Amino acid sequence: MKKTKLESIASGFILAIAFAASNAWSAPEEIPGRGFVWKDGAEIYAKICAYCHEAQVGPPIRNRELPTEYIRTVVRNGSRAMPAFRSSEIDDESLVKLADFISKKEAKH
Ligand code: HEC
């Protein structure tokens, strides 16, 4: 059966979406080996945590002044539907920055 051009574009598009969705939270795109450094907590939050925590998959975690120690523990160990992240994904130093970023209240304008 020959597909029309439009059909093949459409199915390619759907595949691309499915691929993006299944890979989104295993971000970053490159496995951070040696040499990979997260820019700051905001970047990690935007690229990993926001996928669930800005999408009603997980509870809101920003601006709640959650203890940083608690945030770090949840990230390393997971919690029910929340996956655990290893230090090869988020290194210890970055995790400290991430926990600070999440815990602190956004400056009021
Ligand atoms: C795949 C989806 C997903 C991703 C990605 C994710 N979380 Fe979660 N997270 C959840 C869910 C679901 C819960 C609620 C777990 C439960 O019911 O115990 C949760 C709970 C939490 C909690 C506890 C909140 C509370 O109210 O006690 C913290 C803290 C947290 N996540 C931090 C993070 C951080 C930091 C990241 C990024 C490194 C992250 N999460 C990435 C799904 C996710």
Query: Does the residue 18 lie in any domain?
Result: yes
User: Does residue 108 lie within any of the structural domains?
Assistant: no
Distance of CA 53 from the midpoint of ligand 1 (Å):
7
- 72 belongs to a structural domain: yes
Vertex 78 angle, CA 70 and 73, to 5°: 25
How much is the pLDDT for 105?
82
Within a domain: residue 95? yes
CATH number at residue 26: 1.10.760.10
Whether residue 67 lies inside any domain: the answer is yes
The pLDDT, as a whole number, for residue 16 is: 53
Q: What is the pLDDT of residue 72?
A: 98
For residue 13, is it within any domain?
A: yes
- Residue 30 alpha carbon to ligand 1 centre in Å: 22
For the entire predicted model, the pTM comes to 0.76
List, run by run, the mean pLDDT of 10-residue segments along the chain (109 residues). 64 52 53 72 97 96 96 98 96 97 82
Structural domain harbouring 17: 5-103
- pLDDT at res. 13: 54
Tell me how many domains the chain contains: 1
pLDDT computed for residue 28 by the predictor = 54
Task: Give me the pLDDT at residue 103, please.
Answer: 96
**Contact 49 CB / ligand 1 (< 6 Å):** yes
For residue 103, which phi and psi values (nearest 5 degrees)? -70, -40
In a domain, 109, yes or no: no
Q: Is the CB of 50 under 6 A from ligand 1?
A: no
From the CB of residue 50, how many other CB atoms can be counted at a distance below 10 Å? 18
